[in-house]
C-alpha cells in the first residue's frame, strides 16, 4: 500500500470521491500542514493553526496509479481559488498536494504544470505542492460523513 494526501476544500466530498476509485483501500479525513499538535476541527476552523482539511488515501499502486489519483484531484475541485472552495473560505480549504516521496513530488509538479498549460482554466492554478507532514485524523464524526447521512456528494 501507498499513501497520497490531498487538500481540496471541505474534506467530506473529497473523501467520498476517492473512496469510489478502484484500488483505493481507504480514505480518511484529517488535518495536515499546520503547527499545532493534535488539532481539533474547532482549532483548524480558527484559521490560525496552518492546517488544511485533507484526505489521506491508502491505495494499491498495482490497481490505481498516483497519476490517476492526481487526475481525479484536479477534476473534483477548483484549483484556481486561493484558500477557498465553493462557499468555504479560509486557509484550511486551500488546494494542496502533500507528497510523501520524491516520485510523488515530481508527478504532482508535472501534473500541475500540464494543467496550467492546458488552458482549462482562465485563472492561474494556485495549488501548492508541499511535503507531507504529520497527518492528524479528524474526529470520528467527520469520517465517512456524507455516507453516514445517506448522501453521495456535496457541492465540490
Residues 120 and 134: their CA atoms lie apart, in Å, by: 33
Is the overall model pTM greater than 0.95, yes or no? no
Task: Extract the C-alpha cell encoding 41.
Answer: 476541527
**Contact (CB, 8 A) for 28 and 142:** no
| 3 state SS of 35 | coil
Catalytic residue among 4, 8, 10, 72: 10
Confidence grade of residue 120 (pLDDT, cut at 50, 70, 90): very high
| 3 state SS of 104 | helix
Residue 151 has pLDDT above 80, yes or no: no
Confidence grade of residue 141 (pLDDT, cut at 50, 70, 90): confident
Convert the pLDDT of each residue in 84-107 to its tens digit: 998 899 999 999 999 999 999 999
Q: Which of 35, 41, 34, 104 shows the shortest CA–CA distance to 73?
A: 104
Residues 95 and 127: their CA atoms lie apart, in Å, by: 5
What domains can you pick out in the chain, each with its CATH number? 2-148 (3.30.1060.10)
Residue 110 has pLDDT above 70, yes or no: yes
pLDDT of residue 146: 72
**Mean pLDDT over the full length of the chain:** 93
Confidence grade of residue 12 (pLDDT, cut at 50, 70, 90): confident
10 is an active site residue? yes
pLDDT of residue 156: 46
Amino acid at each position: 500500500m501507498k499513501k497520497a494526501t490531498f487538500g481540496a476544500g471541505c474534506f467530506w466530498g473529497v473523501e467520498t470521491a476517492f473512496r469510489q476509485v478502484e484500488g483505493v483501500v481507504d480514505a480518511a479525513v484529517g488535518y495536515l500542514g499546520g503547527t499545532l499538535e493534535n488539532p481539533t476541527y474547532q482549532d483548524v476552523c480558527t484559521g490560525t493553526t496552518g492546517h488544511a482539511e485533507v484526505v489521506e488515501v491508502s491505495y494499491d499502486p498495482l490497481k490505481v496509479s498516483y497519476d490517476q489519483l492526481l487526475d481525479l484531484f484536479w477534476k473534483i475541485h477548483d484549483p484556481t481559488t486561493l484558500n477557498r472552495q465553493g462557499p468555504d473560505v479560509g486557509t484550511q480549504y486551500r488546494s494542496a498536494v502533500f507528497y510523501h516521496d520524491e516520485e510523488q513530488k515530481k508527478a504532482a509538479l508535472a501534473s500541475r504544470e500540464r494543467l496550467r498549460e492546458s488552458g482549462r482554466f482562465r485563472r492561474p492554478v494556485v495549488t501548492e505542492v508541499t511535503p507531507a507532514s504529520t497527518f492528524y485524523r479528524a474526529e470520528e464524526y467527520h469520517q465517512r460523513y456524507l455516507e453516514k447521512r445517506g448522501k453521495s456528494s456535496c457541492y465540490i
